[in-house]
Amino acid sequence: DAKTTQPPSMDCAEGRAANLPCNHSTISGNEYVYWYRQIHSQGPQYIIHGLKNNETNEMASLIITEDRKSSTLILPHATLRDTAVYYCIVSRIQGAQKLVFGQGTRLTINP
């Protein structure tokens, strides 16, 4: 599975959009981009995933570049409850049960 690179930490003001980048330059054609987050010491929570098209759900939007070598997770109106570690993971859909988590980005939402 392709490796991902994320900034170790980011800050964002409450109410603003939080844009979390992820580089995955060695991604293969059949690999998806997944985003999970981990709030404090809880178990990770699925946010969104995509292959090559931009995706949106009730939690976030995922923008994948045309060459698929990078992506951005967007939390449109960040709240204090969005403070968490965000993990960008690349994996085949058939491997979704054995994800490889990196160290993620620690996002802090400031009041």
Partner 1 sequence: NAGVTQTPKFQVLKTGQSMTLQCAQDMNHEYMSWYRQDPGMGLRLIHYSVGAGITDQGEVPNGYNVSRSTTEDFPLRLLSAAPSQTSVYFCASSYSSTSGKLRLYEQYFGPGTRLTVT
Q: Rounded distance, CA 84 to CA 41, Å?
A: 9
Instruction: Compute the CA torsion angle 72, 76, 82, 83 (nearest 10 deg).
Output: 60
Stretch that binds partner 1, among 14-22, 23-31, 42-50, 58-66 (CB under 8 A): 42-50
Residue 52 binding partner 1, by CB under 8 A: no
Residue 39 binding partner 1, by CB under 8 A: no
Using CB under 8 A, pick the residue from 20, 27, 73, 87 that binds partner 1: 87
List all residues 6 or more positions away from 50 whose beta carbon is below 8 Å from its beta carbon: 32, 33, 62, 64, 71
Residue 10 binding partner 1, by CB under 8 A: no
Using CB under 8 A, pick the residue from 26, 30, 45, 65 that binds partner 1: 45
Torsions phi, psi of 16, nearest 5? -90, 170
| Closer CB to partner 1, 41 or 53, in the complex | 41
User: What residue type is assigned to position 2 of the chain?
Assistant: A
> Is the CA virtual torsion 53, 54, 57, 60 positive or negative?
positive
Using CB under 8 A, pick the residue from 46, 65, 76, 79 that binds partner 1: 46
The residue ranges that bind partner 1 (CB under 8 A) are 32, 34, 36, 41-46, 49, 87, 93-94, 96-104
